[in-house]
Amino acid sequence: MTAVENDADVIVVGAGPGGSATAYHLARHGVRVLLLEKTEFPREKVCGDGLTPRAVRQLIRMGVVGGSAATGDSAGAAAAEDGWQVNRGLRVIGGGVRLELDWPDLASFPNYGLVRTRLDFDDLLVQRAVAAGAKLRTSVNVLGPVLGVDDRVVGVQAEVGPDREPATFHAPLVVAADGVSGRFPLALGLAKREDRPIGVAVRRYYRSPAKHDDDYLESWLELRAKGSDALLPGYGWIFGLGDGRVNVGLGVLNSSSAFGKTNYRKLLTDWLANTPEDWGMTDESNAEGPILGAALPMGFNRVPHYTRGVLLVGDSGGMVNPFNGEGIAYAMESGEMAAEVVVQALARPAGAERERALMAYPQELKARFGGYYRLGGVFVKLIGRPEIMRMATKHGMPHPMLMRFVLKLLANLTDPRGGDAMDRVINAMTKVAPAV
């Protein structure tokens, strides 16, 4: 049998933030990367468009923000000039209290967050991957793996272009960064774990001169319909885009009794009907586009993260943070971790030695996020009980110091070494929680 020629050292399936970050970091190490994406850029992706300092850190690592432009008064100011909406923290609304919490000052993370529509954002990231040397092919719909000896994945089958021409691409390693649908891992038999938290979220854009340039991300712990005191299920957000519009949405977790039994679109319009008129969200004519939604796969809901030549990155591996629904930072971070492991693995001969190197990927993911996600699973169960959530909001919100701790915990923002007392408590809690 003649050996097939490889099209690349690594094929990355999907060019969302996870796939583009993986491709960028691989290409920077001189690895030949083929990045396959089924859509064409720029393209919309249903999201809240909010980026915490954890995500900004990854953007800096990819040279998307920061660099020499960050020499002005503040790094955030430089980003603002480049069309990003900069935020300095989180505004939490609940229990009759409105609290503004600035992002913490840490050695490990910048102290600002950003907002940018995914229409722009994903395009910027993929361009960085291409500039670093990755080869991008769009309009390539990957259908499934090509299997070699021992059922190891040695490539992908796809259909290409508008005519859906069948095509096969070969590489010794494949990264599945195909998002929440996880079609590629599914084709390998890796189903979603039902014992992990999952959410559903919907969002819409509105023109809102009053809220568009907010320099805080706004989070609503309690949602109510107009003229009613009863709590609606879910948690809401309003993120200013800085271009006259806001991204408004809400999410419901599977620990809520309303999960799967609610009309989420109606829930959003019911809540928005109760917002101040001058915000613009009570008026349908200010809306841009339909209400769109998707699932949030949390707390490692698809494992193993490495098997038979395939590494799972981002939503494909269920990596959304159960505490706050943030997924972009974790997609980019897992992409970088996968790239680091793959670079080492490719430097070894194929076989047992290379496999040993590849097994470091799930181990490192577990070490970095396992304990934290485990705690997140407990958190999701607790806040699914309305009486606990009511009590926590009522007694927690009036205490800014406690809420600063909660912000660090929910956004996963601590210094691993040399942090303050809050950091030490959070780090200890995540160490004690058994990794998942």
> Which residues sit at the interface with ligand FAD, rule CB under 6 A?
13-19, 36-39, 45-50, 55, 140-142, 177-179, 181, 183, 201-203, 249, 293-294, 296, 314-316, 320, 326-329, 331
| Interatomic CA distance for residues 300 and 429, integer angstroms | 18
Tell the burial category of 364 from Cβ atoms under 10 Å away from its Cβ (0-12, 13-18, 19+): middle
Query: In angstroms, what is the minimal distance from the CB of 118 to ligand FAD?
Result: 7
Other CB atoms within 10 Å distance of the CB of residue 93: 18
Residue with smaller CB distance to ligand FAD, 254 or 354:
254
Q: Indicate the residue among 38 and 212 with the shorter CB distance to ligand FAD.
A: 38
> How many helices (H) does the chain have, and how many strands (E)?
13, 21
Nearer to ligand FAD, 114 or 354 (CB): 114
If the CB atoms of residues 41 and 424 are measured against ligand FAD, the closer one turns out to be 41
CB nearer to ligand FAD: pick between 287 and 425: 287
Q: Which is nearer to ligand FAD, 36 or 59 (CB)?
A: 36
Give the whole-angstrom CA distance, residue 249 versus residue 390.
21
Least gap, CB of 191 to ligand FAD (angstroms): 16
Shortest Cβ 50–ligand FAD spacing (Å)? 3
Nearer to ligand FAD, 46 or 425 (CB): 46
DSSP assigned state of 278 = G
Annotate 279-292 with DSSP letters as a single string: GSTT-GGGEEEEEE
Query: What's the closest the beta carbon of residue 100 comes to ligand FAD, in angstroms?
Result: 18
CB of 326 to ligand FAD, least distance (A): 4
Q: Please give the structure tokens belonging to residue 210.
A: 């009053």
Output the residue with the shortest Cβ distance to ligand FAD. 327
Here the tokens at position 229 are 């005191």
Query: What is the three-class DSSP state of 178?
Result: coil
End-to-end CA distance of the chain: give it in Å, rounded.
42
* Cα dihedral 84, 339, 6, 4 in deg (nearest 10): -140
**Tokens representing residue 396 in the block:** 């927690």
Report which of 138, 131, 143 is spatially closest to residue 35, judged by C-alpha positions: 138
Write down the least CB distance from residue 433 to ligand FAD, Å: 22
**Residue 367 burial by Cβ neighbours in a 10 Å radius (0-12, 13-18, 19+):** exposed
Smallest gap from Cβ 423 to ligand FAD, in A, equals 22
Q: Which of 223, 241, 240 is nearest to 232 (CA)?
A: 223
Instruction: Name the residue nearer to ligand FAD (CB basis): 41 or 286.
Output: 41
Find the shortest distance in angstroms from Cβ 247 to ligand FAD: 8
